[in-house]
């Protein structure tokens, strides 16, 4: 991330110089009465001189072989056929994918083209998408084949999972022992799906020794803790009863996490390590604050939560995770938690159903990362901080949530959260027929794993002193606004 930021800065600098050149040129051309190819110091916007630097800093992280985008933009030959589509995608702001309202917050991983960059891509397409001169071409970026981090260790599902051509696949949970014989501190983590075409998302949880979470699952064997009875639409019609007393007794750390279902055990002490979904990339836990890392106790297991979607063809997947380790115990701990609301009931045809969730920060912490999560009826999502002084601040606003993209928003500067600050989330779901992704506007929608059920989760990460226990930091809180 830091490398990328530095690189972006460089490109911006080059771009400013380039645009100043353009303005001078434009004045000249205007005085000569020509308007053709208004941008570019040599008269025409070319791939080598103008377009490739933009693609390198804004697009190639996804648009290259083996990454999430379906086509590569590394070379002129690969990019040329997409010139018109690129123009359309950047003008409509469909690309690069970024959903935060620019009015709130500053994010380190912000993907937004400047007006000048958008114009350059558009005029390149309008002018026949020329390649330009070889001498103008910047050096190619070097990417590690496959991994975007240089893992010290990789951990893979022990056997491939066979995905059938059709049907609903319940979430699969695979417990994979780490065999770590001492505590480790993880500085970066990356999930590499074995087969992206059937992978909706992956979440990796750390299950510490002694945890009862998924205690019945045999290591290495795909486990489905809850099988729902489903109606003709595929919606769950009966849920396993909740383990209410046990859930209530859980540590505050997981107070707002999904309530465990029967036979699942307690999620107390279980932490989300990292996740994969379109838009999420390798996570660097030491990027927001140097000398911070995620803690994985000796003897922990990783729980792979895998959401496969069928696409008409049988497929196999064998997903793995790569980790880099701190060389010595760090000063700070990077910890992921969430403010979740499970108690909603979205009425049929409700176009704007509001729900709230909140947590309270019981020890001073620094906020570094936010990731809203809903399903296909998700409409918008807002994070606010309510400070002990009574002031509130909008941390992140996602006015048009898009389930196809799961984006993590990394704070440009860690945001201090004094003791007693509350993180409050407000979400809206659109259960009307106007929502093109809505599979059925005529049903009441409740919490559930599958995409046609709903979620309301405000994931966030904080950095605290390494010695502080997460359950002492994050507490349960009633939302300031009405619960539902
Ligand atoms: C975070 C990953 C990511 C980044 C960054 C990204 N793309 Fe994409 N892009 C995708 C994926 C995935 C698709 C295919 C799915 C889709 O169309 O939504 C896509 C599709 C496209 C398409 C086809 C759109 C269509 O309507 O068929 C174009 C054109 C495109 N991207 C251009 C760009 C450009 C130009 C940039 C940089 C300015 C960029 N993308 C940055 C992931 C990315």
pLDDT on residue 345:
95
Asked if residue 94 and residue 158 are part of one domain, the reply reads no
Could you tell which of 96, 117, 129, 199 is best to mutate to test the pocket of ligand 1, judged by most ligand atoms within 8 Å of the CB? 96
CA–CA gap between residue 289 and residue 452 (Å, rounded) = 38
Residue that is last in its domain, among 91, 114, 136: 136
pLDDT on residue 149:
93
Bridge partners for 202 per DSSP:
276, 306
Q: Which atom of ligand 1 is nearest to the CA of 86?
A: 29
**Is 284 among the domain residues?**
yes
CA–CA gap between residue 137 and residue 131 (Å, rounded) = 10
**Is 270 among the domain residues?**
yes
Asked if residue 272 and residue 215 are part of one domain, the reply reads yes
Per-residue pLDDT averaged across 85-107, rounded?
Answer: 95
- Dist. CA 69 → ligand 1 center (Å): 6
pLDDT on residue 26:
39
194: pLDDT strictly greater than 80:
yes
Residue that is last in its domain, among 287, 312, 330: 330
Residue that is last in its domain, among 136, 169, 190: 136
Ligand 1 proximity of 61 Cβ (cutoff 6 Å): yes
pLDDT on residue 330:
97
- Dist. CA 202 → ligand 1 center (Å): 21
- Dist. CA 423 → ligand 1 center (Å): 32
CA–CA gap between residue 155 and residue 181 (Å, rounded) = 15
Of the candidates 136, 119, 114, 125, the one whose C-alpha atom is nearest the C-alpha of residue 42 is 136
Contact by Cβ (8 Å): 121, 39: no
Asked if residue 190 and residue 124 are part of one domain, the reply reads no
The total number of residues written for the chain in this structure: 484
Asked if residue 343 and residue 473 are part of one domain, the reply reads yes
Domain coverage including residue 318: 144-225+263-330
90: pLDDT strictly greater than 80:
yes
**Is 50 among the domain residues?**
yes
Could you tell which of 66, 74, 89, 402 is best to mutate to test the pocket of ligand 1, judged by most ligand atoms within 8 Å of the CB? 89
**Is 254 among the domain residues?**
no
DSSP-assigned letters across all residues of 32-72: HT--SS-SSTTSS--IIIIIHHHHHHHTTTTSSTTSSSSS-
pLDDT on residue 241:
37
- Dist. CA 385 → ligand 1 center (Å): 32
Which CATH number do you get for residue 367? Answer: 2.60.120.230
Q: What is the pLDDT of residues 433-444, one digit of tens each?
A: 999 999 899 999
Name the closest-CA residue to atom 2, ligand 1. Answer: 62
Ligand 1 proximity of 85 Cβ (cutoff 6 Å): yes
Asked if residue 115 and residue 92 are part of one domain, the reply reads yes
Per-residue pLDDT averaged across 232-249, rounded?
Answer: 43
**Residue 108 or 84, more confident:** 84
Per-residue pLDDT averaged across 25-53, rounded?
Answer: 60
82: pLDDT strictly greater than 70:
yes
Ligand 1 proximity of 408 Cβ (cutoff 6 Å): no
pLDDT on residue 229:
60
402: pLDDT strictly greater than 70:
yes
- Dist. CA 341 → ligand 1 center (Å): 32
Asked if residue 171 and residue 38 are part of one domain, the reply reads no
**Residue 169 or 314, more confident:** 314
Kindly provide the residue ranges of all beta strands, DSSP E only, lying in 100-209, ordered along the sequence. Answer: 153-156, 161-163, 172-177, 184-192, 199-207
104: pLDDT strictly greater than 60:
yes
- Residue environment code for 31-67, b if the CB has 16+ CB neighbours within 10 A, otherwise e: eeeeeebbbbeeebbbbbbbbbbbbbbbbbbbbbeeb
Name the closest-CA residue to atom 16, ligand 1. Answer: 69
Q: How confident is the model at residue 234 (pLDDT cuts 50, 70, 90)?
A: low
Q: What phi and psi, each to the nearest 5 degrees, are found at residue 121?
A: -65, -40
The model's pTM is 0.81
Total domains in the fold of the chain:
3
Percent of the chain with pLDDT over 90: 69
Asked if residue 8 and residue 73 are part of one domain, the reply reads yes
Q: How far apart are the first and last CA of the chain?
A: 37
33: pLDDT strictly greater than 60:
no
29: pLDDT strictly greater than 80:
no
**Residue 256 or 154, more confident:** 154
Q: How confident is the model at residue 228 (pLDDT cuts 50, 70, 90)?
A: low
Asked if residue 351 and residue 291 are part of one domain, the reply reads no
**Residue 3 or 367, more confident:** 367
Secondary structure letter of residue 135 according to DSSP: G
pLDDT on residue 277:
87
Of the candidates 464, 455, 255, the one whose C-alpha atom is nearest the C-alpha of residue 346 is 455
pLDDT on residue 136:
96
Asked if residue 388 and residue 368 are part of one domain, the reply reads yes
Asked if residue 187 and residue 58 are part of one domain, the reply reads no
Ligand 1 proximity of 90 Cβ (cutoff 6 Å): yes
Ligand 1 proximity of 53 Cβ (cutoff 6 Å): no
**Is 317 among the domain residues?**
yes
Asked if residue 41 and residue 154 are part of one domain, the reply reads no
Report the chain's mean pLDDT, rounded to a whole number.
85
Q: How confident is the model at residue 268 (pLDDT cuts 50, 70, 90)?
A: confident
**Is 241 among the domain residues?**
no
321: pLDDT strictly greater than 50:
yes
Ligand 1 proximity of 82 Cβ (cutoff 6 Å): yes
Per-residue pLDDT averaged across 288-305, rounded?
Answer: 96
Is residue 24 classed as helix, strand or coil in its secondary structure?
Answer: helix
Asked if residue 207 and residue 111 are part of one domain, the reply reads no
Could you tell which of 95, 143, 148 is best to mutate to test the pocket of ligand 1, judged by most ligand atoms within 8 Å of the CB? 95
Per-residue pLDDT averaged across 45-57, rounded?
Answer: 97
Which CATH number do you get for residue 173? Answer: 2.60.120.310
DSSP-assigned letters across all residues of 407-426: --EEEEEEEEE-TT-EEEEE
249: pLDDT strictly greater than 80:
no
Could you tell which of 63, 91, 109, 124 is best to mutate to test the pocket of ligand 1, judged by most ligand atoms within 8 Å of the CB? 63
**Residue 277 or 322, more confident:** 322
């Amino acid at each position: 991330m830091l490398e990328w930021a530095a690189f972006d800065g460089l490109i911006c600098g080059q771009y400013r110089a380039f645009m100043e050149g353009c303005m001078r040129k434009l004045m000249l051309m205007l005085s000569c009465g020509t308007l053709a190819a208004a941008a570019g110091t040599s008269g025409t916007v070319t791939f080598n001189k103008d377009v490739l630097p933009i693609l390198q800093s804004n697009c190639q992280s996804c648009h290259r072989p083996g990454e999430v985008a379906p086509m590569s933009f590394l070379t002129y030959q690969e990019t040329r056929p997409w010139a018109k589509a690129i123009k359309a995608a950047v003008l409509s702001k469909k690309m690069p994918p970024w959903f935060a309202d620019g009015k709130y917050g500053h994010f380190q991983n912000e993907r937004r083209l400047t007006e000048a960059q958008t114009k350059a891509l558009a005029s390149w397409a309008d002018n026949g998408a020329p390649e330009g001169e070889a001498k103008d071409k910047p050096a190619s970026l070097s990417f590690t084949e496959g991994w975007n981090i240089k893992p010290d260790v990789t951990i893979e599902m022990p056997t491939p999972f066979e995905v059938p051509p059709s049907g609903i696949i319940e979430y699969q949970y695979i417990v994979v022992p780490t065999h770590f014989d001492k505590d480790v501190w993880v500085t970066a983590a990356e999930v590499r799906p074995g087969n992206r075409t059937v992978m909706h998302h992956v979440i990796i949880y750390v299950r510490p020794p002694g945890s009862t979470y998924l205690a019945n699952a045999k290591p290495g064997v795909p486990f489905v803790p809850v099988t729902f009875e489903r109606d003709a639409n595929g919606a769950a019609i009966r849920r396993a009863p909740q383990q209410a007393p046990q859930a209530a007794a859980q540590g505050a750390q997981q107070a707002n996490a999904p309530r465990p279902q029967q036979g699942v055990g307690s999620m107390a002490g279980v932490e989300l390590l990292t996740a994969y979904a379109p838009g999420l990339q390798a996570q660097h836990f030491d990027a927001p604050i140097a000398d911070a890392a995620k803690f994985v106790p000796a003897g922990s297991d990783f729980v792979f939560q895998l959401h496969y979607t069928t696409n008409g063809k049988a497929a196999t997947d064998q997903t793995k995770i790569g980790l880099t380790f701190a060389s010595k115990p760090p000063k700070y701990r990077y910890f992921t938690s969430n403010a979740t609301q499970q108690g909603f009931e979205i009425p049929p045809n409700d176009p704007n159903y509001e729900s709230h969730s909140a947590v309270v920060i019981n020890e001073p912490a620094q906020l570094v990362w936010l990731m809203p999560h809903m399903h296909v009826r998700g409409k918008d999502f807002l994070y606010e901080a309510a400070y002990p002084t009574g002031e509130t601040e909008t941390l992140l606003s996602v006015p048009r949530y898009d389930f196809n993209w799961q984006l993590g928003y990394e704070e440009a500067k860690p945001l201090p959260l004094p003791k007693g600050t509350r993180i409050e989330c407000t979400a809206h779901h659109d259960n009307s027929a106007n929502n093109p992704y809505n599979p059925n506007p005529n049903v009441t929608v409740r919490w559930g794993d599958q995409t046609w059920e709903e979620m309301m989760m405000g994931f966030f990460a904080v950095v605290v002193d390494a010695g502080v226990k997460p359950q002492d930091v994050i507490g349960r809180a009633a939302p300031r606004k009405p619960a539902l």
